[in-house]
Amino acid sequence: MKNKNKSTKFPVVSITARIKKIMQKDDEVGKVAQATPVLISKSLELFMATLVDEMSKVTIERGCKRVEVWHLKAAIERTEMLDFLKEIVDPIQDPYPNGADEGAAGVGPDGKKKRGPRKKKEPVD
């Protein structure tokens, strides 16, 4: 029987099989209902979408072009729903404690001013 629900972005068959294997590694878990791995995969998809959305908001606010690990920390710290992850990201040090990254402030993590691209010398006639 093929899965009729195609609204998930993950390949449902392979993810559900992996989830079922992980669940059955526990001795206390007996049979797993067919809908359980599908629900878990959908909840994981929604969780990751929330996390990525919050990280991208932090990245845009800080004026960066690339997502860094400290953006993840800032997203977790500012989102109440992700409070359970705070102790995991506590050891991560934010090189820009005031919230501005190199794109916004023009200063690198070492505190030195970043230089722009070199200008070409104009040819002398």
* Res. 58 pLDDT band, cuts 50 70 90: very high
pTM of the model: 0.62
Provide the percentage of residues in the chain whose pLDDT is more than 70.
70
Cα separations (Å) of 31 from 4, 25, 27, 36, 78?
22, 11, 11, 10, 39
Give the residues across from 107 on adjacent strands.
113
What is the per-residue pLDDT across 48-57, written as a single tens digit (0 to 9) for each?
999 999 999 9
Q: Lowest-confidence range among 40-54, 76-90, 101-115? A: 101-115
* Res. 125 pLDDT band, cuts 50 70 90: low
What is the per-residue pLDDT across 8-23, written as a single tens digit (0 to 9) for each?
565 666 788 888 888 8
What average pLDDT does the segment 108-116 reach?
Answer: 55
What are residue 122's phi and psi, to 5 degrees?
-80, 140
Separation CA 101–CA 85 (nearest Å): 23
In the predicted model, what is the mean pLDDT of the chain? 79
What average pLDDT does the segment 86-102 reach?
Answer: 76
With b for 16 or more beta-carbon neighbours within 10 A and e for fewer, the 76-98 pattern comes to bbebeebeebeeebeeeebebee
